[in-house]
Amino acid sequence: MRYLVTGGAGFIGSHVALTLLDSGHEVVVLDNLSTGHRAAVPPGARFEQVDLLDATAVERVLSQGTWDGVLHFAALCLVGASMVEPYHYLHHNTLTSLNLINACTKYGVKRFVFSSTAALFGGADRPPPIADDALIDPGSPYGESKFFIERTLLWADRIHGMRHACLRYFNAAGADLTGRLGEDHRPETHLIPLTIDAMLGRRPALKLFGHDYPTPDGTCIRDYIHVTDLADAHIRVMDQLNERSVTYNLGNGTGFSNLEVIQSVSRVSGRNVPWEWAARREGDPSVLVADSSRIRRETNWNPHYSDIDTIVETALRWRVNHPNGYQHT
């Protein structure tokens, strides 16, 4: 089959594109390389350097033949930055997605997979795990923009018959098991690569924000899902879209605390991680863990790499082998 992957030069998008190629499909990657990396586009994928703000260029790509599905990852995705520049995030993420969705309906795309987020559930504490039908209350303009896109897809289904899967990720982590791809954000904001870089001496001591949360060790707990398991879920939901639109929370269903992540990096690497306490960050909930029972039940999806040491080991191996990320790949 033939798929279009927007944001396919980014962390999650590139791994999904790679999984599609490994499964024998034809893949076209669309990315403006504002945050992605040309070297992250998997060999075998055709690359189109296009900005989704350019509606004419987006339509040009969509007009090039029949598509068996579109997978949309391209977005601004830093929660903190969206609190500083709320209207930039709201404008950019919604307009780029509107351009893409409009072109998809115009050229007859029938299956659309959307990279949504656990940020829809806000910053308030709520009992874990979080179900698919939990109250939507975005805690940031970033989360709000994703919710608007989910609502737009609902109308694309009702009016044009384009079925969609909204996959609400929790914390994607790790790297391709054979080392072909990894995580290279600039700036990096994710805990696992930040912890690894602190251990490797590539950055100052890691700061742990808050030690008095109502958790066993006092630090926040998050649900980490290996990026390869995440990619597998995208393949599986395609069959669902032959019948209906779906929305799923996507995580391991198991949480690991910030301290447990540090301990895992130290255990896997055999080296100490320099770190220090810092004040809580406003809006950080104590626990964010997904209830992924429905996607497991309806698609037979199950994460295979849910152990925190496995997630850390794949991430560590890629960062050690790529000290400059994709810059010299």
Alpha-carbon Rg for the chain in angstroms: 19
Amino acid at 127: P
Q: How far apart are alpha carbons 276 and 16 in whole angstroms?
A: 35
**Residue 206 φ then ψ, to 5°:** -65, 140
Q: How far apart are alpha carbons 242 and 83 in whole angstroms?
A: 38
**Which of these is catalytic: 3, 87, 107, 142?**
142
**Residue 316 φ then ψ, to 5°:** -65, -45
Q: Give the contacts of 13 (CB within 8 A, at least 6 positions apart).
A: 5, 6, 7, 29, 31, 36, 71, 73, 74, 115
Helix (H) or strand (E) holding 164: strand 163-169
Catalytic residue status for 326: no
Q: How far apart are alpha carbons 174 and 193 in whole angstroms?
A: 9
**Residue 280 φ then ψ, to 5°:** -55, 150
Burial 204-225 (b: 16+ CB within 10 A, else e): eebebbbbebebeebbbbbbbb
Catalytic residues: 142
